Amino acid sequence: MTGEPVIQVSDLCVAFGDNVVLENVSLDIEEGEVLTILGGSGSGKTTLMRHMIGLREPQGGSIRVLGRDIARGGADLEAARRDMGVAYQSGALFGSLSVLENVCLPLQELTDLPGSACEWIAQLKLRSVGLGQALYRLPSELSGGMKKRAAIARAMALDPKILFLDEPSAGLDPITASDLDDLILDLARSLGMTIVVVTHELASIFKIADRAVILDGARRTIVADGPPAELRDHSDDSFVRRFFRRESSNESTG
C-alpha cells in the first residue's frame, strides 16, 4: 500500500434545503483503521456516512475512496463501491429472500462463483455473526438484532476493503453486542479491513475503535478526533467531555 488514506473527506458541506448539516468537514481514514463516528441524534453521523458511500451528492467538498473521487458519482463511484460493504441501521434485508439468499445475492450477482460456493461462503458469514440456525428463515421471522447481524453478514459477503456499519450494536443484548465487537476487531486485525462504525454505544467504542471522531450538531462539524480514551481523559472541549460523561445528555443538544 502506498500509505494514502483509504477514505479522504475534504471540506465536505452538506445541506438539506436551507438546513446546513455539515460544514467544512475533513477526515482521513487510514487502511486497517477502525473509526467510529459519534455524535448526538441529528448531528449528521449517518449523513456523513451516506456521503462516504456515495448515496448523496454533497453541496461542496470532495470525497476520495481508495483513490477515486466519488462525490460526483459516475464510473469512479461504481468502481469504489465494489470495495465497500454497508450494513444499514434497519438491516434493509430483502423480505422475499431467506437470510441465506440475502447473503448469497451479492456473491451471485457480482462474482463468477458457482451457486454451491456462494452458499458455502454465505453460510460461513452467517455463522460468524451467530445466525447459523437461522439460515432458511425469512427476514420477517427474525428479531431486530438478528436482522442487523444478517445485514452485517451480507455487507461482508464480498470481503470488501471497507466496511460501513450504521449503529450495528444498537438494540442488541450485551452478549451479542460484545461478540459483534470481537468480530469487527477480527476483521480489522486479520484481514486488514477498514471499518467505519456509526454508533452510540460507549462500551463498544472503547473496545473496538482505534480512533473516534465526534460530530457536534450545533457547530456542524467534527469537534474531536483521536483515540477514544484520550478524548475522554484529555479533551478540553466541554461538548466532548459531556459526551463521554453521559452520552445520553447529548440528545437535547444534538
Q: Nearest Cα to 87, choosing from 197, 185, 201, 177?
A: 197
Rounded CA gap, 210 and 34, in Å?
Answer: 5
Q: How far apart are the first and last CA of the chain?
A: 38
116 binds other proteins (CB under 8 A): yes
Interface characters, 72-111, with other proteins (x: CB under 8 A): -----------------------xx----------x---x
Closer residue to other proteins in complex, CB, 8/235: 8
41 binds other proteins (CB under 8 A): no
Residues 153-182 that bind other proteins (CB under 8 A): 156, 158-159
Least CB distance from residue 244 to other proteins, whole Å? Answer: 32
Q: Residues in contact with other proteins, total (CB under 8 A)?
A: 33
Query: Which residues make up the interface to other proteins (CB under 8 A)?
Result: 1-2, 4, 66-67, 95-96, 107, 111-114, 116-117, 120-121, 123-124, 127-128, 132-133, 135-136, 138-140, 156, 158-159, 186, 190-191
